[in-house]
Amino acid sequence: CLEDITEINENPNNPEAVPSNFLLPSAQVQGTYYLGGELNRAASFWVQHWATTGGQYQRIDRYDVTDATFNNAWAQIYAGALNDLQIIIDQSEELPNYRAQARIMKAYYFQMMADLFGDIPYTEALNGVAGNITPAYDEQRDVYSDIIAELDLAIDEVDEESAVIATEDLIAGGDMALWIKFANSIKLVAYMRLSEVDENAARDGVSAILNSGAPILESGDDVELIFGSRLETNANPLFQQEFNRATDYGASDTFVAILEDLNDPRVGTLLRRDVNGDYSGVPNGNPTNLPQDGSGNTIVSRIGTVFVQETSPVPLLTYYDVKFVEAEAAIRGWVNGANAQQLYEEAVTAAFDYYGVAVGNYLDSGQPAAYDANNAYDQLMTQRYISLFARGVEAYNEWRRSGIPALTPAQNNISGGIIPLRYPYVNAELTNNPGNPPAVNIFNDPVEWDVN
């Protein structure tokens, strides 16, 4: 009977194993919640899409971030989404499509983390159960190389005959053709990200995909996660932010000025009118003299209602993202015979279409946004900047890569006038993985692909 005593120690509360298909939705939601929420937030302030109008995000807007700022995001992406995806890959040897779905998702999140943090644990990561609780950090470029290899492996793995995760696949519904397009498109964006640090690799990679006719996202193929009801705690992260602290942030005057300069008709979608019926922004850094309305709130345009519905989607990768890469490749002259103007206009139009805004005469000659071969790269990157409104992570990546638009640092900043070049490593790593995170200064040390 004493040997039997431990029988009651079998856990009656939680399972010790779970089928792979139930792990995918949690991984998709968890990572995307941060992509659209906490990670989006700081970046959207720093690229001056948004500006603070209250105390809640004031420190972030003044670049006052610490090793505690992104603790939650880092922990839940690594010890949540990524770990679950790794488990799917490890336990689904007989299910190649399951592995491909997980592998592509995992590559996407790892790229997101490498873009924001630079060198990250990769090769040795997600190995805690096997005993490695202090994973080494890999260089950002090495992470990139392996992500691309993983995406190729996933594309090869896809097997039309085999089972897929369908109902539980919240972003593609088990559509393996869409997964392949998604994988190729991630590669496209990843190669283009290297344009400044290693133009040859970038050109070769982008051209190879575009020339091979490999399937990439097409019109209507937006990879995004649609959120759900607040009462079921399924709501979009920006809805949650708006619902709880609506008056703590609004449009940055930098962003409003750029839209105004271009007579951009998207302003009515991307922003709401302020109490005076205008579209207005405030300077970043929460200076003390912001205009106030009668109830003590700052007069400013808040971000568009399209972003703050309970069910608003968080895009991971869209058709227009792909068009922008194509247009950039053409403008850079990487593709023989490509029509740069046409691709520029297609990219901008795709970005309009995403929000259902008619492009009208916006691109007509004489208009500020009309294609100008002498200034095409600047124009394209400015459009890219606008198109990534409320998609802070990617906006921050593209701004760091291109340096466009030029930004004046926020008022009251704590950095002596430097916009952070990366996110700081988190306390949980610095404390518990000592010696492995490289010593970096977020104001002085850019990530590897950021040479501007």
Partner 1 sequence: QSRTVSGKVTGADDGEPIPGVNVLLKGTGTGASTDIEGNYKLTVPEEGGVLVFSFIGMKKKEEAIGSRSVVDVQMELSVEQLQEVLVTGLGVERQAKSLGYATQNLDSDEITKAANTNLLSSLQGKVSGVQINNSTGAVGGATRIVVRGPTSLTNGNQPLFVIDGVPIDNTQRQSTDLRSGASFSNSGADINPDDIASMTVLKGPSAAALYGSRAANGVILITTKSGKGAKGKTSITVNSSVTFDNVLRYPEFQRTYATGSGGVYNPTGFSGWGPKFEGQTVYNPNDEWEGQPDSVALTAKDQFLKQFLQTGTTFNNSISVSGGKEDTHYRMSFSNATSEGIVPSTDVTRTTATLKAGTQLANNFRSEISATYTLTQSGNIPPAGQTQTSFMWQALYTGVDLDISPWKDYEAPDGTQLEYGSGFWNNPYWVVNKNRTSQRRDRVNGKVLLGYKFAEGIELIARVGTDVYVDARKGRTAINTVANVDGAFYEDQFVYNQLNSDLFLNVDKEIGSDFSISGVLGINDNRRRVQNVFSSAPAIVVPDLYNYSNIDGQPTATNNLNERRLFGVYGNLNLGFRNWAYIDFTARNDWSSTLPADANTFFYPSVSGSVILTEAIPSLENDYMTYLKLRGNWGQVGNDANPYVLSSVYGQGGTFDGLFNGINFPFNGVTGFSAGNRIGTPDLIPEITTSWEIGAEIGFWNDRLTLDATYFDSQSSNQIFNVNIAPSSGYTTVTRNAGLMTNKGIELLLTGTPIRTKSGFRWDIQANWTKVDNKVEELFGDLEQLNVGRAGFTSVSSVAYLGQPYPVIYGRSWRRNDAGEVIVSQSTGLPVLTNEQGPVAKVIPDWNGGLRNNFSYKGIDLSILFEMRKGGNLYSSSVSHYRVNGFAKETELGRESGIVFNGVAESISTEGDTTYTKNSLVVDNESFWSSFSLFGDTELGLVDASFIKLREVSLGYGLPKSILDKTPFGSVYVSAVGRNLWLSTPNPYIDPEVSMFGAADNQGYEYATIPSTKSWGFNLKFTF
47-86 binders of partner 1 (CB under 8 A): 66, 68, 72-76, 78-80, 82-84, 86
| Distances from the Cα of 441 to the Cα of 144, 444, 447, angstroms | 22, 5, 11
Give the whole-angstrom CA distance, residue 393 versus residue 263. 26
Applying CB under 8 A, which of residues 94, 213, 434, 439 lies at the interface with partner 1? 434
Q: Measured from the CB atom, is 10 or 93 closer to partner 1? A: 10
Q: Measured from the CB atom, is 33 or 324 closer to partner 1? A: 33
User: Over the range 369-380, which residues count as b (16 or more CB within 10 Å of their CB) and which as e?
Assistant: bebeeeebbebb
Give the whole-angstrom CA distance, residue 117 versus residue 440. 10
Rule CB under 8 A: is residue 436 a binding residue for partner 1? yes
How many Cα atoms within 13 Å fall on the side-chain side of residue 441? 5
Rule CB under 8 A: is residue 357 a binding residue for partner 1? no
Applying CB under 8 A, which of residues 133, 373, 414, 451 lies at the interface with partner 1? 133
Give the whole-angstrom CA distance, residue 342 versus residue 220. 19
Applying CB under 8 A, which of residues 234, 276, 305, 444 lies at the interface with partner 1? 234
How near is the Cβ of 396 to partner 1 at its closest, in Å?
A: 18
Window of 15-23, 338-346, 364-372, 413-421 that interacts with partner 1 by CB under 8 A: 15-23
How near is the Cβ of 326 to partner 1 at its closest, in Å?
A: 33
Q: Specify which residues 292 forms β-bridges with.
A: 298
CB–CB of 372/363 below 8 Å?
Answer: no
Applying CB under 8 A, which of residues 54, 228, 265, 268 lies at the interface with partner 1? 228
Per CB under 8 A, contacts with partner 1 among 158-197 are 167-168, 170
The count of residues in the chain is: 452
The beta-carbon contacts of 111-115 under 8 Å, at least 24 apart in sequence, are: 111/143, 111/144, 111/147, 111/186, 111/190, 112/31, 112/35, 112/39, 112/393, 113/74, 113/77, 113/78, 114/140, 114/143, 114/144, 114/147, 114/447, 115/193, 115/393, 115/397, 115/447
Applying CB under 8 A, which of residues 183, 194, 210, 235 lies at the interface with partner 1? 235
Per CB under 8 A, contacts with partner 1 among 25-44 are 25-27, 29-30, 33-34, 37-38
Q: Specify which residues 51 forms β-bridges with.
A: 250
Per CB under 8 A, contacts with partner 1 among 271-310 are 295-296
CB–CB of 417/407 below 8 Å?
Answer: no
Applying CB under 8 A, which of residues 60, 89, 120, 172 lies at the interface with partner 1? 120
Q: Measured from the CB atom, is 74 or 320 closer to partner 1? A: 74
Rule CB under 8 A: is residue 412 a binding residue for partner 1? no
Window of 124-132, 142-150, 273-281, 364-372 that interacts with partner 1 by CB under 8 A: 124-132
